[in-house]
Amino acid sequence: MRSIGVTMNVTLDGVVQGLGRPDEDTRGGFPHGGWGNRHQDEVMAEEMSRGMSEPGDMLFGRRTWEDFTKVWAGREDGNPFTTHMNAATKYVASTTLEDAGAWQNSVLLRGDAARTVAELKARPGNNLSIIGSAALVRALHTAGLVDRYTLLIHPLTLGAGARLFDGPAPLTEFTLTRSVPTTKGVIIAYYDRVASEPAEA
C-alpha cells in the first residue's frame, strides 16, 4: 500500500491560505496573500529539495492543481523543482474537473476524494505527496488516509484565513520524527501518524 505525506505551510494560528502571492487565494476577502515569502531561506530550500529527491507521485485538489498548472505546465527553466513537478505523475481529485490534460503526466480522479484516493492508495505504486490542497487534506485526514505531515510553521499570526483544520477532525496522534529550525524562524516539523480513530457518523 502507498503512503500519503502532506507538506503544508502554516502560521502560528493555523492559517494555510494564500501563502505565495497576493492574488493566490483571496476567497472570503483574504487580505494577507504572500505571507510566506518573507521567511524563505537556504535551510528551507534544502529541506524541500530533500523531499523532492525521493521517488513518488503527487496528489492535488482541483483548485491547487489548476493554480500550479498555470505556473509549472510546460515550463523549462533548469530549476530542479520545475523538473520534478513536470516529470511526476500528478493525480488530481475532483468532482467538477472535466479532464486533466492541461498539465503533462496528470491523471484525473473523478468523484468523492476520500473514496478515489483510498482506492489509489491501496494499489501498488509510488508513495503520494500533497503540497497545499487544504480542502483535500482535511477530507483525507478525516478518512484516516494521511500518514505523514511536514509542517512549515511560520512565526506569525494572521487572524483571518482558512485554517489547516477548519471544523472537526478525528482524534489522531502523531510522533515527531525530526525538526529543523530555519534562519528566518520557521520550524520544519516532520510528523508520522501513530494512531487514529474513525470520524463519527
* Residue of higher predicted confidence among 18 and 196: 18
Look at residue 59 in the predicted model and tell me its pLDDT: 97
Domain count, the chain: 1
Helix axes 113-122, 134-142, angle to 10 degrees: 70
Look at residue 85 in the predicted model and tell me its pLDDT: 86
Give residue 58's pLDDT band: very low, low, confident or very high (50, 70, 90). Answer: very high
With cell 493525480, the residue in question is 91
Question: To the nearest whole number, what is the mean pLDDT of the chain?
Answer: 91
Look at residue 197 in the predicted model and tell me its pLDDT: 53
Residues in Cβ contact with 201 at an 8 Å cutoff, skipping those fewer than 6 apart: none
On whether residue 88 sits in a domain, the answer given is yes
On whether residue 153 sits in a domain, the answer given is no
Look at residue 4 in the predicted model and tell me its pLDDT: 97
* Cβ proximity of 126 and 89 under 8 Å: yes
Question: CA nearest 28: which of 14, 17, 16?
Answer: 17
Look at residue 153 in the predicted model and tell me its pLDDT: 98
Look at residue 54 in the predicted model and tell me its pLDDT: 75
DSSP-assigned letter for residue 37: G
Q: Residue 200 above 70 pLDDT?
A: no
pLDDT digits (tens, 9 = 90+) for 93-138: 999 999 999 999 999 999 999 999 999 999 999 999 999 899 999 9
Give residue 89's pLDDT band: very low, low, confident or very high (50, 70, 90). Answer: very high
Give residue 195's pLDDT band: very low, low, confident or very high (50, 70, 90). Answer: low
Residue 130 maps to which CATH number?
Answer: 3.40.430.10
The parent domain of residue 3 ranges over 1-22+29-42+55-147
pTM of the model: 0.91
Question: CA nearest 191: which of 10, 42, 63?
Answer: 10
Other C-beta atoms within 10 Å of 110: how many? Answer: 14
Look at residue 201 in the predicted model and tell me its pLDDT: 45
* Residue of higher predicted confidence among 100 and 168: 100
Give residue 75's pLDDT band: very low, low, confident or very high (50, 70, 90). Answer: confident
Average pLDDT in the 149-170 region? Answer: 93
On whether residue 37 sits in a domain, the answer given is yes
On whether residue 85 sits in a domain, the answer given is yes
Q: Which contacts of 157-161 are long-range, i.e. CB under 8 A and separated by 24 or more positions?
A: 157/11, 157/12, 157/13, 157/15, 158/11, 158/13, 158/15, 158/32, 158/35, 159/13, 160/15, 160/28, 160/30, 160/31, 160/32, 161/11, 161/15, 161/16, 161/17, 161/18, 161/28, 161/30, 161/32
On whether residue 197 sits in a domain, the answer given is no
